[in-house]
Each structure stands twice: as structure tokens, then as C-alpha cells.
Amino acid sequence: MASPQAKADAAKAALASTATCTTATVVTLKELLLPDTESSSTTSQTNSRTTSRAAAHSKAKKATTARTKSSEEQLSAKDRAALATNVINIAIKSLTEAAKPAPPSTPSKRQPSHGDLRKAAAPRTLRRSLSAPLSPLHPRTLNRVATSPNISSKAACQPTTQSTGCLATVECARVAFACLRSIMGPIQPTQTDFQLENGMSAFIGKLLGLGIQDQALKELRILKRRLDTASNKTTKPASAEGQTASQVIAELLDYDGIVPDHLLSVVTGCQVQVLRWISHSKKPAQIEAALPFLEETHSSSPIKFVSSKEDQVATEPRLSPSPTSAFKLQVLCFKSQLRWWKMAGHKGNVDEEVLSPFVRCVRALTRRHSPTTGPIYETIATSFNDLLELIEGQESKATTSSNSPLASMYQLLGIAAQTDRHYDSACEWFQLLKDLLDPEHESATRIFSISARLLAASLKQANYDSHTEQLIHEVVEGLDGSLTGNVTELNDLLESLSLARRSAVGLLVSRINEPKKENPALDSVLGPLKTFIMRFPRFSRRWLGSIPGKDATAKILLQFDQRRQVLMQTINQILDGALMVLNGDIQSGSTTWKSMDEVLWDCNKLVESILDPTISVARTEQLSTYFTKISSLYFARYNQLRKDVGKSKQINKEVLQSLSRSIEMIQDRPMAQQEKGPDVDKAGALCRSLQVGQPQQ
């Protein structure tokens, strides 16, 4: 029996060419590189073929002896890793040679002589041998498709022949990769060497070049699962219920959550191979399913990974120019390009060749710009207006649609103007963007977000007209609208509404603090603004979603925790604003029990949803104080109504409800919180006395 080293040498020799690699080579490498798999398969085959007890005992004994003998002849882990590496290198080299087009056959011919030319010029005559039969000539039955070489037909058949001949080599490489994965284990958090993962990506590229898509897809799934484990993402089963095959394949692009920096190059390489696989398949359904994962708004879009990769280097003054200087240089390039178009009469595409790259430059500038270096709105606006002037002289015009680069520029300019407190300009840009959106085709979430940003900028102005009041009513109605969209859209919606809420609260506070002045326009919008602020806790509950149950998947738990972390940043302002407005209405007697109870109940449930054992003790205690504040507002309503007890059944009912709610908010809280709120014992006694005093229904 040959030694393992001899088997390894024979396998490597067979791998040198796809013509010599066979299934026997695959079996040999499996025995050498994956001994555990081979032994388990041998045992299962032995057990399945047993026909009697005696035969089973005999075969099991032989199998045990064979396994013991083979275990003594197994390669060590170090030797298996070295052999697997050699196999991969040889296999990839062999596949590279197989992928090269075969040279055309050019048979050598001698130079024709003068006599040959004369013979060729003479007319052809049919000569019949004396021994030939005198029967009529019949067409001969051919045993081949063609008797003359046909280059085009050979070229057409070549990929299929190559793919069939390379399958054994491909399987050998897959066995070697499986061996290395079993030896190296999963990716470590501190790992910096990704030779195995990069090798798998290169191997997948070779498979796609040869048209072996089935094996390429298998390797892509294995690589994706390996990267998901490294990025702490829970993988889905391959056949997800309710998903088509195209959706499952497209989700190979999805890396939900934040991908660590050290994995970016490997992840983007895997995504590129997935895109190549989809491109080779040429199936419209797969392309359609992959599109949402490629949008720049998706958290794991390859475009987003690449665009933000060099931010740290770009903002280092010792390595790169300042972001503003780099942006100005890029603008000069765009201007030169447009001027050259006009001089040369070139008909370029303004959207794809100018505005779309310009949008990416603006996003990079806003991402890398530090607030300490001053405002950037004027720089962006001036550059954009200069480009528009040059574009007007071109035959190609900018597209005016909701998905055009022009719409993206309007939004970026509006955000930059709002950040730098150019509120008039922000209103103009957001209004231009809103006019581009078609409510019938655009998502309601995006339109709602733009309206909220427009409202936030409008409230910072001194002029309040009917348009402002109409905009407030539109935003208030949108709080109960549909919440659909990806993570980026929903986060942008919360940010936009938070800006509008802060503007509304600031306006109300300034109105309270300043002396009473006659301002009918402002007074007309105060009521709707109060409604907007008090209904924000309910919207926040809807945006956060219900707390996942015990049977929830890891992905659902992770998404809920991410939303909670985002909402945690503004929850204090949300609750303080709503409770401040409601307290003022209680003191003035301008609220009803139903509206007050809805607001306070939403605030209570929002705090309960936010609280989590993973939050720090100090943060938990700070959020728990809102239970006491809510209880105090219920008790304030009770104090306001108790002097009117007995006047009507409705008042008696509201007094009892207010006191009951006040007790309910803090009765299950720690003793320290109960002491800060209304006296529970006295409140309970009052509640019982009121119940006794109620007339029988």
C-alpha cells in the first residue's frame, strides 16, 4: 500500500493538468486531507450493507482494523495544511491555463510552385479508375458530423468541454479549501491575515471564468457564512420560507449591521463575486432582487463600503489635503470637463458623467468635514450653481426626477443649509426637492421626511403664513401614517421629525418667556404645534416597534436593539417636550381626560420599551424618574377636578380615573420612586372613598 507522501505526490502530479486529473485524484485527496469525513463515510457504508449479524460483525471488525491502520498513516495537521495549500495553488494555475482560449490550428503548407499554379488553373475533370464499379455514384454515408475542420464550431463547443474536464480539478480545490477551513477554524476578531478568504474569492473568480456556476455558488455561500460569523451576523437558512431562489441569492450581498474595518476588503471582494455570478446567470429576477442591496441607502451596499473606507486617511492633514481643498480641486475638474465638452462639441451625459460624481464628492465632503473648520454650505452651493451655469450650455440636460442626481443635490444642499443655519435657503432647497417627488410613485416615508425637514426650517423663520400651518397639519397627520422603508430611510425620518420637534419646542418656549405680543400668525400655529409635540411619543413607540418575544430570531432582536439605541439619544427631549406641553394644558384647564390619558399612557409605555437590563444603572434611574412625573401629572389632574366632585357623573368618573392612574404608574416601582411621587396609601384611601361614594349604576 502506497504511503501518504506517495499518494500526495501522485495527486499533485495529476493536478498539473485538467486532462490528467480524474475522480480518483479527488478520492485520494479526500482520504489525505479529510480523514474524519472518509472514516465516517466508510463506517456508514459498512453498516448499510450488513445483511446478517455475522456479516455485520465481520465487516465492522474489518472496518475498525482499516480505520486503525489508516489513522496511523494519516498526515499531521501541519502536513495537511501544507498539502492543501499546494493543491490550491496547483489547481488555480491549472484552471487558469484551462481558461485560456485554444490556439487556432494552422497546418503548414509549402509554397506552391509554378507548375502547381498551372495545375490549379486547369479545369477539373472527373477521373474514374478502371477498377471502379460501373454503378451510379451515390452520396457516401458519413460517420462524422463534418469531414473538414470547422473553427467556429470548435470555438462554440470549447467552453463546455473545458468545464467538463475541469470538474475534477475544481473538486480537488474545494476539498483543499475545506481542509484549511477545518484546521484554521472561524475568523478571529483580531485576525489581519485573510489569505484563505482571498484565496476562496480568487477561486470563485476562476470558476465563473470557466462557466462553472453551480460550484461557484456553493463556494460563495460557504464564504458568506464564514464572513457572517466574523461580523456577528446571524445567517439565514439557505431555503428561507416565503423567499424565492433569486431573493436568497441576492441576500448574499447583505451584511446587516456594521462590518468591522479589517473585514471591509474581504466583504467587498465577496460582494463583487456575487455580482459577477448574477451577471453570468443573466436572469432578470435575480438582478431585480439584488437591486435593493446595491442602493446607497442600504447599510451594506458595496458603494457605501468603498466610499467611506478612506475617510480616516482623507481627514489626516499629514497624509491628505483638507476635505475642502480636495473638493475644490474636484469641482475644477468638473468645470474643465464641461468646458471641453462645449469646445469639442462632445455630447456627454450630464447625469452620469458630471452630477452623479459631484453628488458623491459632496457626500464625502459633508462626511469628512469637521464643524470646527467653519461652515461649508456656501462652498457647496457656489460650486453647484457654477456647474449648473456650465450645464445650461450643453446639449444634454439634467434629469428632473425623484431618483435623479439633481434630487440628491437638493437634499444635500438643504441639509447643509439647515446645519449652517441658512434657514431661508434650506426652505428653498427642500421645497424644490418636494416638488420633484411624485406621491403616486414615491414612498410615503421619504415624502414625510422631506416635509418634516421643511417644517423644521420654516419654524426657524419669523414669517408664519397659511403654508406653514398647512405644513404642520401635514406632518401631524403623517405621524399616524405608514412606516415602511429600509433602515436608512426610517432613521432619516426620525432625524427629520426630531429637527421639527426641536424647532416647535423652541418656538413654544420663546412664546411663553417673551411678553405677550399680538401675533395672530404665530397664535394660529401654536395649537397644531402642541398637538405635534404631544403625539410624538406615540410615533416613537410605533417607530421602535413592540418588544420581541422569547421566540424571536437573533436578527429581530438585533434590529430592535439598534432602533432602541438610536431612540435613546433623543428620548429625554421627546418626553420632556410632551410633558411640558401637557402640564401647561392641565394648569390652564384646556385639555380633556381622553387626550391627556393617551399622551401619558404613550409616555409610560415608551419608557417601559426603552428600559433594558443592559442599560447602565445611572441611565436606568434617570429614565425611571419619568414614571414619577407621569404619576404627578395624573395627580395634578385629580387635584384640579376634586373640587367639582358631585357636580356630574362624568366629573366623578374622571376624578376616580385620574387618581387610579396616578397610583398605577408608581405602585410597582421601587420604594425610592414611590416616595418622590404622590402618597400611595393616602391616594388609595381617597380612591376607595370615591368608589364608595359612587352611585350604583
pLDDT in tens, 521-536: 777 788 899 999 999 9
- DSSP codes, 194-215: -HHHHHHHHHHHHHHHHT-HHH
The yes-or-no verdict on residue 69 having pLDDT over 50 is no
Domain count, the chain: 2
* CA of residue 406 relative to chain centroid, distance: 24
Identify the pLDDT of residue 380: 95
Whole-number Å distance between alpha carbons of 691 and 688: 5
Percent of the chain clearing pLDDT 70 (strictly above): 75
The yes-or-no verdict on residue 22 having pLDDT over 80 is yes
pLDDT in tens, 477-504: 999 888 888 888 899 999 999 999 999 9
The yes-or-no verdict on residue 680 having pLDDT over 60 is no
Using the structure block, give the residue that is written with the C-alpha cell 390619558: 597
The answer to whether residue 134 sits within a structural domain is no
The answer to whether residue 172 sits within a structural domain is yes
The answer to whether residue 108 sits within a structural domain is no
The yes-or-no verdict on residue 582 having pLDDT over 70 is yes
The yes-or-no verdict on residue 54 having pLDDT over 60 is no
Whole-number Å distance between alpha carbons of 275 and 269: 10
Whole-number Å distance between alpha carbons of 380 and 417: 10
Range 471-478 average pLDDT? 92
Identify the pLDDT of residue 682: 54
All residues at 6 or more sequence positions from 622 whose CB lies less than 8 Å from its CB, including other chains? none
Range 197-203 average pLDDT? 91
Of the listed ranges 114-118, 349-353, 634-638, the least confidently predicted one is 114-118
**Are the C-beta atoms of residues 413 and 361 closer than 8 Å to each other?**
no
The yes-or-no verdict on residue 166 having pLDDT over 60 is yes
The answer to whether residue 684 sits within a structural domain is yes
Identify the pLDDT of residue 319: 67
Whole-number Å distance between alpha carbons of 626 and 133: 114
The yes-or-no verdict on residue 392 having pLDDT over 80 is yes
| DSSP run (H or E) holding 484 | none
All residues at 6 or more sequence positions from 185 whose CB lies less than 8 Å from its CB, including other chains? none
Cell of 543: 417607530
Using the structure block, give the residue that is written with the C-alpha cell 501518504: 4
Query: 317 pLDDT band (50/70/90 cuts)?
Result: low
Using the structure block, give the residue that is written with the C-alpha cell 463583487: 272
Find the length of the chain.
697
| DSSP run (H or E) holding 497 | helix 487-513
Calculate the dihedral angle through the C-alpha atoms of 354, 356, 358, 361, rounding to the nearest 10 degrees: -150
- DSSP codes, 243-260: --HHHHHHGGG---SPPP
Identify the pLDDT of residue 63: 47
The answer to whether residue 275 sits within a structural domain is no
Whole-number Å distance between alpha carbons of 30 and 178: 10
Identify the pLDDT of residue 52: 44
Instruction: Give the end of a domain, one of 185, 218, 249.
Output: 185
The answer to whether residue 495 sits within a structural domain is no
- Name, of 52-66, 249-263, 268-282, 531-545, the range with top average pLDDT: 531-545
Cα radius of gyration rounded to whole Å, the chain: 38
The amino acid occupying position 428 is E
The yes-or-no verdict on residue 159 having pLDDT over 70 is no
Range 115-120 average pLDDT? 46
Structural domain for 180, as ranges: 1-100+161-185
Going by C-alpha positions, the residue among 430, 397, 504 that lies closest to residue 460 is 504
Using the structure block, give the residue that is written with the C-alpha cell 456575487: 274
Query: 77 pLDDT band (50/70/90 cuts)?
Result: confident
pLDDT in tens, 405-455: 999 999 999 999 999 999 999 999 999 999 998 888 888 899 999 999 999
Identify the pLDDT of residue 39: 47
Look over the chain and give the mean of its residue pLDDT values, rounded to a whole number: 78
Whole-number Å distance between alpha carbons of 424 and 427: 5
The answer to whether residue 15 sits within a structural domain is yes
The answer to whether residue 498 sits within a structural domain is no
**Are the C-beta atoms of residues 411 and 433 closer than 8 Å to each other?**
yes
pLDDT in tens, 332-379: 999 999 998 888 888 888 999 999 999 999 998 998 888 888 899 999
| DSSP run (H or E) holding 435 | helix 423-436
